[in-house]
Amino acid sequence: MLDINVAQQDHVTLVEASGRVNSMNANQFGEALSDVIDKGNIHLVLDLSNVDYMSSAGLREIVSALKKVKRASGDLRIAQPSERVHEVLEMAGLDTIFQIFATQGDAVGSY
């Protein structure tokens, strides 16, 4: 089960995901991110505090989304990843590629 909520905070688009991001729903996750970006939103904050599971399929989608916004001179910054998500981000070396913030407010305010 994966829920995705998109909200606008000034010029920053906040994407809040909750549930598990796995091989079965990673496409849905990736499409939601692409949809936001394709609408011209390139300053994104992805809040992963309520995602308690992310496999490599999910990581693939956020890396792909990051490349897409970077090409448009934007960024995708991660807010308060859960411990489990932080672990896989770190293992894949993505903690040095994404800007990761302890709170949603910090991530939104970083733009």
Partner 1 sequence: MNLEERRLQIPATMDQVAIACDFVAEVARDAGLDDDGVYHCRLSVEEICTNIIEHGYGSNASGEVIDIVCRYSPQRFVIRVFDDAPRFNPLELSSPDPTTPLWERQSGGWGVYFVRKFMNNVEYRYEGQRNQLVMQKHIS
CB of 67 to partner 1, least distance (A): 7
Q: With respect to partner 1, which residue has the nearer C-beta, 6 or 57?
A: 57
CB of 22 to partner 1, least distance (A): 6
Tell me the residue ranges of DSSP E strands in 1-111.
Answer: 2-9, 12-21, 43-54, 75-79, 100-101
62-85: buried (b, 16+ CB within 10 Å) or exposed (e) per residue? Answer: beebbebbeeeebbbbbbbbeeeb
Residues that bind partner 1 (CB under 8 A): 22-24, 53, 55-57, 59-60, 63-64, 66-67, 70, 84, 88, 91-93, 96-97
CB of 5 to partner 1, least distance (A): 22
Q: Taking Cα atoms as reference points, which of 23, 89, 21, 24 lies closest to residue 51?
A: 21
Q: With respect to partner 1, which residue has the nearer C-beta, 9 or 34?
A: 34
